A and B are shown apart, each in its own frame.
Chain A
Amino acid sequence: MAMTWKLLKQLRPPPYTATASTSLHRPRFLNFQNATRLFSDQPPLPPPSGEPPPIPPPQNSHSPSPSSLNQAELAKFAAIAGTWWDSEGPFKPLHAMNPTRLAFIRSTLCRHFRRDPLSARPFEGLKFIDVGCGGGILSEPLARMGASVTGVDAVEKNIKIARLHADLDPVTSSIEYHCTTAEKLVDEQRSFDAVFALEVIEHVANPAEFCKSLSALTVPDGATVISTINRSMRAYATAIIAAEYLLHWLPKGTHQWSSFLTPEELVLILERASISVQEMAGFAYNPLTGRWSISDDVSVNFIAYGTKTETATL
């Protein structure tokens, strides 16, 4: 935690363009022309040889559902919904990582919304939405930080758990939970100052469409925060082999390597959805202390914060 604070301090003063993490990734986008094809609405082209084969994520693209959700993924989460708030249960890694990702959110959004970083409730008066809120692990802290939070999840059971848990504390009982999808909210023309989709995009069937929905939910000049797992060899080794098979942190089959996005791909699909990524950071796990910290290494878990640009390039 001391580490997080140090990093918080480091993150706070300089303007975002100067951070090491953003400048690191910008030049590399040029190499990812094939990624644009990957997330276009056309069936994906076979990948060029010599690269690790990025298998296209849409598994049930012919499904009649208008949503960008993946039905098999929903069933997976419904099965473990009851354990959301068991900090020693299947969501333990998420609980452990939560303060770290919130530290990133706090520092970037205090700057974005020009709020006092020393305030206990810096997001007072702002409307936030947590897409794929699960049991409310992110929604509750955001509410404690002062925001008016709406949490949505496509799994009915998650919403029930989230409601029950939020009602335990008067501060979090104001959270609005709905069993719905980002697409439906777009249809209802809802909009928010900040939109969050943390550890969600790797579970959706069509990331590009999903990002467009997130963008549509964000007010102009609003913020969007997305975190996910990189499609790197190290991510395969740590997030799938180690976390699911060796350490049993996560139920087997929680993640599919092929549906992971690289930071470059994410930046690109966000850009096409008129969200310009301002800052990106990685999360590093220290196996000795069992703590997570913010780092420049985006090779496994990473988080991106972007702003909605006014002009849509759709």
Chain B
Amino acid sequence: MNSLIRRKLVENAYRLKLSHKGFCTGAAAKVSSSNGAQPSNDHVGQQKSSNKSEPHDIAIVGGGMVGMALACSLARMPMTKHLKVAIIDSNPALSNGLSIKKEDPPDARVSTVTPATISLFKDIGAWKYVEQHRHAYFDQMQVWDYTGLGYTRYDARDVHKEYLGCVVENKVLHSSLLSCMQDTDFQKTIYPSRLSSMALNPGILSMGMNSTSSGLNERGNLAKLDLSDGNSLYAKLVVGADGSKSRVRELAGFKTTGWKYSQNAIICTVEHHAENRCAWQRFLPTGPIALLPIGDNFSNIVWTMNPEEATDRKSMVEDDFVKAVNSALDYGFGPHPKSSNFGSGGIFSWFKTDTTICANECFKVPPKVMKLASERMVFPLSLMHANNYVSKHVVLIGDAAHTVHPLAGQGVNLGFGDAFSLSRIISEGIAVGTDISEVNLLKKYEAERKTANVTMMAILDGFQRAYSVDFGPLNVLRAAAFHGAQYIPPLKRSIISYASGDQRLPIFS
């Protein structure tokens, strides 16, 4: 018997050794910022020192749309509303609020929020603030390509919904979330600074069994965050909501997969004579151009092209740019799809299962752009996905975990999906007394969101790739896909509901 116990003890000692090795790699994650992350911070020292030393439950790094959505959602749920949350962001709007004047022309940075996101916003009580500002629901969507072969038109009525989505300026979404947060008595502390380094303390196993007192104190199970203004704070869980260049992701040592498309997107606001009620997207050989309604007579343009063209079009005079936009949305690069002909025995007539195509399904030409209403901004496009979203004490949400092609404006919806999923899982964990920094709990969030995010990324990347080649047979294939989407009603319905944020794959509905 004794020898058996001894053998078990030896095995056990071996295990401890193994976990000790784990500690060494864990220590590697304790990176201190070598070059100091020089931030141009105007608000250094404004932080009141009141509860500086008291540890927080959650530190949200990045108080943008996704970070604030998480904070609001935590503030609203009975299980999480008592949590002490720190929000680290140098944006002064977080402390001082944002004033948005209704007369101002819309900002060029907009998001297309899906019905799924809208209902999440309604749940936390933020949508009523969005509705007080400029926003544009759209109930129709037309997608077509330059070859004149493929087009498809979606209508909210096809899926018995009132609208397909809503275009909202990012600043409106952000300020609505801030207002929503003001409504609650949530214990939050805003640190108007940036994260410069982070230390993730090792767990008990790595410390070994004999170190009863040395090195272990009440801070043992906390992450330490050092800020660029010299403040530091402790938190059980650090949430990286700090965008595609996430400092949290870098400091925690998460690996990413991704690539740059050698493409840039020009975004700007334009004005029409009349109100636009439809989302338009046309695939051009150089990349897609989208025209999204943003309320009043304004629309938003997202035009993807190669970097040289983007530089040219950014600097060209306004009249030429407007002409280029109108041409890209009309006859430029190729003819209009001849929708009426396909019904009567074109090469795609065999796709047509439903012969009743009403008039509003016919191809339409987008409204003419009259003039520019904002500056033109250029952004490089890239696709990035973090291999893991969670580790002990750290979790990534939104663009910190994944950046996608801006096509169809899905990026922010994925981010909101992350934020609401994480808050729900934290709430479920608290209900059963789980430590919120526990990896097993956080893994549930990762499992839930990875599937949704990777699927959407693959679809968008596929679109991008399909249109980056101009090759005859491929054009026909693409057109066939379009016609499938246009004329096979169940497929069409499922594509619309997928694009609306329902968690189903188009084919398996």
Contact = CB atoms under 8 A, between A and B. Distances in A.
Contacts of A233: none
A82 B435 CA distance: 20
B8 A145 contact: no
A160 B208 CA distance: 12
Interface in A95-125: 95-96, 98-99, 102-103, 106, 118-120
**Chain B interface residue bracket vs A:** 35 or more
B78 A85 contact: no
A168 B438 CA distance: 13
Given A1-B425, A79-B9, A165-B204, A143 B433 contact: yes
B425 A83 contact: no
A161 interface: yes
A171 to B, nearest CB: 9
Contact of A1 (B1, B19, B216, B444): B444
A170 interface: yes
A22 B282 CA distance: 63
Contacts of B425: 1
Interface residues of A, number: 45
A252 to B, nearest CB: 11
A79 B5 contact: yes
A144 B218 contact: no
Given A102-B433, A157-B209, 15 more contacts: A1-B425, A2-B428, A4-B432, A79-B9, A87-B438, A89-B15, A99-B441, A103-B431, A118-B78, A141-B433, A144-B433, A144-B434, A165-B204, A168-B220, A169-B218
Contact of A141 (B79, B203, B432): B432
A75 interface: yes
Interface string B420-452: 000001001111111100111100100000000
A142 B432 CA distance: 8
29 contacts: A1-B444, A4-B432, A5-B428, A75-B4, A78-B5, A79-B5, A79-B11, A79-B12, A82-B12, A82-B16, A82-B209, A83-B12, A86-B205, A87-B438, A87-B439, A87-B440, A89-B15, A102-B432, A102-B433, A120-B82, A141-B433, A144-B433, A145-B433, A164-B216, A165-B204, A167-B218, A167-B220, A168-B216, A168-B220
B73 interface: no
A99 B432 contact: yes
B486 interface: no
Interface in A115-160: 118-120, 140-145, 157, 160
Contacts of A103: 431-432
A173 interface: yes
Interface string A55-96: 000000000000000001001101111110111010000011
B434 A99 contact: yes
A310 B265 CA distance: 76
Interface of B: 1, 4-5, 8-9, 11-12, 15-16, 19, 55, 78-80, 82, 203-205, 207, 209, 212, 216, 218, 220-221, 236, 425, 428-435, 438-441, 444
A79 B221 contact: no
A95 B103 CA distance: 57
Nearest to A291: B444
B205 A83 contact: yes
A161 B204 contact: yes
Contacts of A168: 203-204, 216, 218, 220-221
Interface string A1-44: 11011001000000000000000000000000000000000000
A100 to B, nearest CB: 8
B20 to A, nearest CB: 11
A160 B207 CA distance: 13
A99 B429 contact: yes
A141 B79 CA distance: 14
A86 to B, nearest CB: 6
Which A-B residue pairs are the 5 nearest by beta carbons? A141-B433, A79-B8, A168-B221, A102-B432, A144-B433
Contacts of A119: 78
A120 B4 CA distance: 45
B123 to A, nearest CB: 16
B428 A72 contact: no
Nearest to A172: B435
A190 B79 CA distance: 32
Given A82-B15, A165-B204, A144 B9 contact: no
A164 B207 CA distance: 10
B370 to A, nearest CB: 50
A89 B18 CA distance: 11
Contact of B79 (A75, A96, A120, A170): A120
Contacts of A75: 1, 4-5
A5 B80 CA distance: 16
B432 A118 contact: no
Contacts of B9: 79
B440 A95 contact: yes
B494 to A, nearest CB: 23
A1 B79 CA distance: 15
A141 B205 CA distance: 19
Contacts of B8: 76, 79-80, 251
Interface string A239-267: 00000000000010000000000000000
B237 to A, nearest CB: 12
Contact of B431 (A78, A106, A165, A170): A106
A83 B220 CA distance: 18
